[in-house]
Structure 1
Amino acid sequence: MKALSLSLVTVVLCVAQVSAHARDTQHLLPIADAIQMKDRDGVLDGSVKFYFAGQKHPVVLQKLGTDISNQKTNAFGKSDEQACKWVFLSTLVQFQKKAQQLGGNAVVNLVSYYKKNELADSEKFECHAGAVMAGVALKGDIVKIGDK
């Protein structure tokens, strides 16, 4: 019984050590490269426009709310860059759905928001990739904008 308890403790300590050293690689990737994927896959329908922090946008007619989308994707068998682009698009799709539900046609002031750390960049987004998962978190204001 004592040997079994000692073995169990050893296994728990080994698992804890492996978990403590799990990969969590930060990537700052170009927004434009990831958005180009939408044209191939058709995941964004164009009904909602996206404007990252610092980007000029048409006048906001009505702010409908602020939202956060924190998406993860399976990164197994994919490069970090490929997984990050995919999960970035999934995050935008979630914003598109939320904007449509609220009657909005744009998301403005988009920032990376990984672990609630804000990174405002109009050209790059933050993604974290591990051995089996990749994640992107964005925060933005859902709005109605004018046509011009």
Structure 2
Amino acid sequence: MKKLALSIAITAAAIAAVAPAQARDNKMMMSIENAMNDNDARNRLGDSVKFYFGKQKTPAIAQKLSTDQTSQKTNSFGKTPEKACNWAFLSAMLRLQARAKELNADAVVNIVSNYKNVENSSDTEFECHDGTMMTGVALKGDFVKLK
């Protein structure tokens, strides 16, 4: 009886190993405000660089320095989709902030979601892709000096 059970377990494991994986990739639109209120995001980002999403009104721009993008992922294991998306969003924002500082920019404007290079502009939401193992957020923006 033990040999039969062992044989069945080994066979099931072998089938599972060669069966095609069903990867989850759920596209979700998440609240920027909620993400900024999670994971101590506001304090971690500080106020040395200002961020403006979509078509939000900005102060006058003195100079556009560059356009750049970032794609950040986080492990989604053991996290709710919202928590994982907020972590990936914060990682992406921290990368935009670091790039702004490298360029001596004081703001990032026209920030859009840019998952797989498909732009999705919103003043209030960002696009997140939540998967079985990883969750990702891609952002793109213009780095500027304000007047």
TM-score range, shorter chain: 0.7 to 0.9
Give the AA of the match of 2:116.
K
State whether structure 2 residue 15 is matched by structure 1 residue 14: no
Against the structure 1 CA distance between its residues 133 and 49, is the aligned structure 2 distance closer, same or farther, given a 3 Å change threshold? Answer: same
Give the AA of the match of 2:146.
I
Q: Which residue of 1 aligns with 2:97?
A: 96
Which moved further from structure 2: 29-38 or 46-55?
Answer: 29-38
Alpha-carbon shift at residue 131 of structure 1 (Å): 1.3
Alpha-carbon shift at residue 71 of structure 1 (Å): 0.3
Partner Cα separation in structure 2 for residue 38 and residue 23 of structure 1: 25
Q: Which residue of 1 aligns with 2:33?
A: 32
State whether structure 2 residue 84 is matched by structure 1 residue 83: yes
Q: Which residue of 2 aligns with 1:126?
A: 127
Partner Cα separation in structure 2 for residue 105 and residue 38 of structure 1: 23
Against the structure 1 CA distance between its residues 22 and 38, is the aligned structure 2 distance closer, same or farther, given a 3 Å change threshold? Answer: closer
Percent identity, aligned pairs only, is: 47
Q: Which runs of 4+ in 1 moved over 6 A?
A: none
Equivalences, count: 135
Give the AA of the match of 2:18.
C
Query: Once the two structures are superposed, what CA deviation does each residue of 1:19-49 show, in whole Å capped at 9, x if it has no partner?
Result: xx20001110110110122646732121111
Q: How does 1:99-118 map to 2 (within 5 A)?
A: 99-118=100-119
CA contact (8 A) 1:129 1:135 kept: yes
Q: Which runs of 5+ in 2 are unaligned?
A: 1-13
Structure number, greater radius of gyration: 2
Q: C-alpha root-mean-square deviation of aligned residues, in Å? A: 2.1
Q: Which runs of 5+ in 1 are unaligned?
A: 1-9
State whether structure 2 residue 145 is matched by structure 1 residue 144: yes
**2:122 counterpart SS class:** coil
Alpha-carbon shift at residue 53 of structure 1 (Å): 1.2
**2:93 counterpart SS class:** helix
Alpha-carbon shift at residue 57 of structure 1 (Å): 0.6
Against the structure 1 CA distance between its residues 40 and 143, is the aligned structure 2 distance closer, same or farther, given a 3 Å change threshold? Answer: closer
**1:37 counterpart SS class:** coil
User: TM-score, normalized by length of structure 2?
Assistant: 0.85
